[in-house]
Amino acid sequence: MQCIRKQPSRTKSQELLYQEQTKATALMNGKLLGMEGDSDLQFLLTGGDLLKVRSSSWKKTRFYKLQEDCRTMWHESHKKLKSKQTCECYNRPPASFSIDDIEAVRVGRQSEGLQKYTEDQVENRCFSIIFKGRRKNLDLIASSEEEAKQWVTALEKIISNTRNLNRQQKTEHWIFNCMRKADKNSDSKMSLKELKHFLHQVNIEVDDDYAEMLFEKCDHSKSDYLEGAEIEKFYKMLTEREEIDVIYGQYATTGGQMSSTDLLNFLLKEQRESASLDDALKLIEKYEVDETAKAKQHMTKDGFLMYLHQPEGMIFNPAHKEVYQDMSQPLNHYFISSSHNTYLMEDQLKGPSSTEAYIRALMKSCRCVELDCWDGSEGEPVIYHGYTLTSKILFKDVIKAIKEYAFKTSEYPVILSLENHCSVEQQKLMAQHMTSILGSRRFLIKGKRLNKLDTIYSAEGTIDDDSVSEDDEAADAEEDEAKKPKQTRTFITMWTSSAESTLRAPEQTPPTTTPFPCGTLATPSKEMDVNQGRFLPNGMSGYILKPAYLRDGASEFDPITLTKGDWLQHKVFHVMVISAQQLPKLKKKTKSIVDPLVRVEIYGVPADTTEKETQNISNNGFNPMWNEQFQFEVYVPELAMVRFVVEDYDSTSHNDLIGQYTLPFTSLQNGYRHVPLLTKNGDVISSAGLFVHIMVLDAE
């Protein structure tokens, strides 16, 4: 959450001046977002009343508006103060959220809260703001359908524009607003004291002598304040990238700039790309910011930095962002992005179950979700973690959510993994709901394989009535099927007869068991990072084609012994961790500066799994520099994953995660590359990143 600075009492003239400054700030931020003069932005800056819904009895009007930083939504709050629950900048509870914190805006009564606590007639006036992480949805009702549409349109536009900023633009926007916040008296000037506050705010701790030296270098007017061009000079000094200067200087051999030939040399020698002069010219045309240099087919240092922040300069191979693999193979030839206990938002013993958990999993391209089905008390099957205190959700509500969100991020089939504990009567309802709601979409139903399938067509036929969970399948593998209790069961009959034509597996192969990551899809962990990184390539379709030796039934591949075979492709992996930029402060340590270190981890077959880490840099999260080199041996690159981890070093306790990024070894790009950083929940950290040099060579 963001804090809204307490405004001091002002005279009329001071208030008019303040309002003009606020408008100017909003105008500048709108321009930085590419929304200068935009009517939707103006609508958000003006704000308005909305009905906030928490329960059937708690529905209250609140005023919402976008702050002049164009990234913070403020809303009035009547929350009572609790001990230590106040904003640092003034004595009141936090009452705002960042645009960066919003995952999505959903139109209508799509959230569980709105479906449960509102009536059908307000459908067109409702919308929900869905937050990243585990923060609760914000359910709202506008005064009219037109107003609801305007709120949704405006919010979606500013979210989209914010996300589409390149790294350099995000940095400019962020630093501009940090400077504004450091300007305590809102006079558009920066005193030495305010400069020190600003440096602390952007995660740099410097001694007084260094701060004074910076200040004196920029204070050309000797007025003891920085303003206008002096602030611009300070900004340029602060954002100077020494490492980029060195690299650029090595190849800018044409009048101090990179010609297209210079750039081609860089692409061939450093980036190890199969590039042509035409490729270099396209990069200049696409990313050069100086029109004069562009006309000469030159790239300036600013254009070079712009290129390095774009997909072509990132560590992940942009050719892997689209579906590039053969998608016509049998289903069991693919790794499939899968979720265990999908319905859980938090704790597996007493946490809430929610349709939102299914939506979030599907929006992350998960292609196999689990439904733990039990008899409901009111005749409708429910989903929850059996024999625990987790809350229950209706099976039909989950199926509706799955239908709505199954194919928004991937067009490839979704597998519904049923753990079925229901009676025959409620199994019939399950089949009816799936048939009527899902229709002719690309769904596969995965359950336990049944012996004597033909007996289900007989009124007296009997089959096993066991749970179909993955755990139970493993436990039952060696048991004698004939000794288990029997009872009549009709669910499979109902499903086969009514829905086989539209929801069956491809004829060449039946659905196969898919491996689950540890815990629910929403559980932040190293294992989840690796799992999500595995499915980053191939258009984030949720399907990754297995290496040929894992598709061959006669393969002798053994990850432990690693006998000779096609899987052995010994590589030497060189990594130089150069620097990081704009690392965030940790929320629980907002008053302290981070001491970052970087760890490079390899996951794969046992011979490849290892890690190495840098030294920590004290009191600098803004532009720490390591320049440390590591070398790894990778024997089975097709199964290897690379994880970059940035932590805040602590000598007395466990280090805290700042950010991480995980990708397949085979999706690495060589050369000088920026690495984006994600939060523990998998969300991109705006502006932050690593800068590394990668070189993958065949071992001799």
Q: Which residues are known to be catalytic?
A: 340, 385
* Among the listed residues 495, 507, 522, the one whose alpha carbon sits nearest the alpha carbon of residue 361: 522
Q: Which two tokens stand for residue 467?
A: 């749970």
Amino acid type, 96 = S
Q: How distant, in Å, are the alpha carbons of 461, 489, 530 from that of 452?
A: 9, 13, 40
Q: Which residue has the tokens 């979720």?
A: 339
In whole angstroms, give the CA distance from residue 75 to residue 67. Answer: 10
Beta partners for 341? none
Residue among 595, 539, 597, 581 at smallest CA distance from 674: 581
Distance CA 380, CA 400 (A): 14
What does each C-alpha distance from 586 to 87, 270, 402 come to in angstroms? 16, 35, 35
Rounded-to-integer distance, Cα 661 and Cα 646, Å: 9
Euclidean distance between CA atoms 211 and 197, whole angstroms: 10
Q: For residue 106, what are the contacts with CB-CB under 8 A and spacing of at least 6?
A: 127, 128, 130
Picking from 163, 148, 190, the residue whose alpha carbon sits closest to that of residue 64 is 148
What is the maximum alpha-carbon separation in the chain? Answer: 98
Q: What burial letters (b/e) apply to 684-693, b meaning 16+ CB within 10 Å? A: bbbbbbbbbb
3-state secondary structure of 309: coil
Instruction: Give the residues across from 575 on adjacent strands.
Output: 630, 694
Is residue 635 helix, strand or coil?
A: coil
Q: Which single residue is written with the structure tokens 């500066």? A: 593
Beta-bridge partners for 416: 369, 445
Element (H, E) at 222: none
Distance, CA of 554 to CA of 533 (rounded, Å): 29
Contact 407, 442 (CB under 8 A): yes
CA-closest candidate to residue 98, choices 164, 1, 22, 167 = 1
